[in-house]
Amino acid sequence: EKKWEAAYNEFFEAFKNYQETGNSSRAKVMLKYVVLANMLALSDINPFDSREAKVYQDDPEISAMANLRSAFEQNDVSTVDKLLTNPSYKILSDPFIRTYLEDLLRNIRLQVLQNLIRPYRCISLDFLSKEINVDIEEVTSLLVQLIMDSKIEAKIDGVEGFLHIDTQNSEDNTRFANITRWADLLDKVHNGLIQKLTHMQPS
CB 37 within 8 A of CB 18: no
Average pLDDT, the chain: 83
Dist. CA 153–CA 121, nearest whole Å: 10
Q: Distance between CA atoms of 3 and 199, rounded to whole angstroms?
A: 58
Determine the average pLDDT of the residues in 90-98. 88
Q: Are 50 and 30 within 8 A, CB to CB?
A: no
**Percent of all residues in the chain with a pLDDT value above 90, rounded to a whole number:** 36
Q: Residue 161 to residues 22, 93, 137, 140, 156: CA-CA distances in angstroms? A: 56, 38, 11, 10, 8
Region 140-152: what's the mean pLDDT?
93
User: What pLDDT band is residue 1 in, cutting at 50, 70 and 90?
Assistant: very low
The mean pLDDT of 48-64, rounded to a whole number, is: 89
Instruction: pLDDT band for 2, please (50, 70, 90 cuts).
Output: low
From CA 152, how far away is CA 118, in angstroms rounded? 9
What backbone torsions phi and psi does residue 123 show, to the nearest 5 degrees? Answer: -145, 145
pTM, 2 dp: 0.61
pLDDT at 190: 59
Reported confidence tier of residue 176, pLDDT bands at 50, 70, 90: very low
Report residue 12 CA to chain centroid gap. 20
What is the band of 122 on the pLDDT scale with cuts at 50, 70, 90? very high
What pLDDT is recorded for position 102?
79
Out of 16-30, 54-68, 135-149, 170-184, least confident range = 170-184
Which has more pLDDT, 127 or 107? 127
70 has pLDDT over 50: yes
The arithmetic mean of pLDDT across residues 187-197, rounded, is: 63
183-200 b/e (C-beta count within 10 Å ≥ 16 → b)? eeeeeeeeeeeeeeeeee
| Per-residue pLDDT band at 112 (split at 50, 70, 90) | confident
User: Which of 7-11, 109-113, 191-195 shows the lowest mean pLDDT across its residues?
Assistant: 191-195
Per DSSP, the three-state class of 124 is strand
* Model pLDDT, residue 39: 85
Nearest to 120 by CA among 167, 169, 174: 167
